[in-house]
Structure 1
Amino acid sequence: MKLAIFDLDETLIAGDSASLWLEFMVQHKLASAEILLQEQNLMSAYYQGRMDMSAYMALTLAPIRYWQPQDLAPLVDKFVQQDILPIVYPDARDRLHWHQAQGHTVVIISATGEHLVKPIARMLGVEHAIGIMLDSCEGVYNGRTRGVYSYQEGKLTRLQDWLHQQQLNPELSYAYSDSLNDLPLLEYADRPAVVNGDQHLRLIAQQRGWELLDW
């Protein structure tokens, strides 16, 4: 089995899905505009590799607290159709299709909540997706998360757990990401590729002979 691992935000799409989702929620008057400024302040730390993910998830999940998954799903689908599919990189689509044509197992893994990652993956034609797991109580989202965050080293932990659950043992793996936060994931892969990387990550890629892609 050959495995292709894709980060989502700024790798497959020209934007951040969680940030765009909050904008969508504000536009539909399902969240206060104040949340956008709070989220921007937290995101500035993400690009420096020091985000407080617990604080970020608490903030961004607050608007869907008390929602039932089946009620939220149509709204998420509308969001993906309207705001995500138009910003998918054409080169990213081509690379996804190439791996699928080769019979590779493709998985999208992101530090965004699974309520967004899984529908986005589905609409991109990707069967497997890993995101931060949302907690619920009596069938209702409670604004909390569960399990290991699929963030930094946690992405690799979640990937390995998923491979074990699926009883998969890749003989060759590819990984694509734009972010220094995904360095553990890129180091894990046999064929890592830096996509739209910043200067620091591009330098690491050049030093290690990794593929450099600009989408």
Structure 2
Amino acid sequence: MTPLSIFDMDRTITRSGTWSPWLLFWAAREAPWRLALLPVAAVFGAAYLAKRVSRARLKELNQRLLMGDAVPRARVEAAARAFTARLLDRGVFPDALLRLEAERAAGRRVVLATASCEFYVRAIADALGVADVVATRSVWDGDVLRARLAGPNCYGQAKRDMVEAWLAAEGLTGAPIRFFSDHVSDVPMFELADEQVVTTPTPKLRAVAQARGWPIIDWV
């Protein structure tokens, strides 16, 4: 069975998160007047920190605020390609790209598994030559993107559950997995994997990795 190399995306391949930059990019490009609503986004963020809204609900609220609730697919795809071009120009770890290519050259099937939204992650994956994506899905009403999630936020245990469902659908349950991530929320995925590669980790994940003997690589 073909071995898999599964990469988290935000802060693993990219130097920072991509969700907030995507929303700001979209608003600046498509509807600059929405930037005046950023104080409302700060209120939503405070509600999340106070545990009054979930991470998934926070995504829906900020998407509605900065993108709107009905966006044609063609606009989304064009903006995603433009966002990807800018991101890949200066927002990724060169070492991560080299490792991704090395995994592919070794005959491994490369997968992105990310909490970021699939409607723009697909453009990033395409630019990286990655066909397989497990990501947070959104509701499409025909060719219109809605500000609602179509299932769980692909984060923490939910990411592992979604990856396991993808493996089953692809007939890959039991395939050897090498998993790359920077964040402690991905411990469930590390525990699923046969090989763990901790990349430029947060302090919490670095401590876990050191305790468990997982190899650590600091990308440059």
TM-score w.r.t. length of structure 2: 0.87
Q: Give per-residue Cα distances to partners, 1:54-96, cap 9 Å, x unaligned.
A: 2222123211421122231011101110234421111101110
- Give the drift of 1:27: 2.2
- The amino acid of 2:173's aligned partner reads N
Count of residues paired in the alignment: 213
For 1:7-22, list aligned pairs within 5 A: 7-22=8-23
SS at match of 1:148: coil
- The amino acid of 1:91's aligned partner reads D
The 1:171–1:58 alpha-carbon spacing in structure 2 relative to 1, beyond 3 Å, is closer
Of 42, 45, 53, the match for 1:42: 45
SS at match of 2:152: coil
Greater Cα shift, 101-110 or 161-170: 161-170
How far apart in 2 are the matches of 1:41 and 1:82? Answer: 27
Q: Does 1:211 pair with 2:202?
A: no
**Structure 1: 5+ residue runs without aligned partners?**
none
How far apart in 2 are the matches of 1:162 and 1:112? Answer: 17
Q: CA RMSD in A?
A: 2.4
Alpha-carbon contact 1:69-1:139 (below 8 Å) kept: yes
> Counterpart of 1:89?
93
Alpha-carbon contact 2:3-2:108 (below 8 Å) kept: yes
Alpha-carbon contact 1:194-1:205 (below 8 Å) kept: yes
- The amino acid of 2:21's aligned partner reads L
- The amino acid of 1:125's aligned partner reads G
Q: Does 1:106 pair with 2:110?
A: yes
Identity %: 27
Alpha-carbon contact 1:64-1:141 (below 8 Å) kept: no
The 1:14–1:172 alpha-carbon spacing in structure 2 relative to 1, beyond 3 Å, is same
How far apart in 1 are the matches of 2:46 and 2:120? Answer: 17
**Structure 2: 5+ residue runs without aligned partners?**
none
How far apart in 2 are the matches of 1:171 and 1:50? Answer: 39
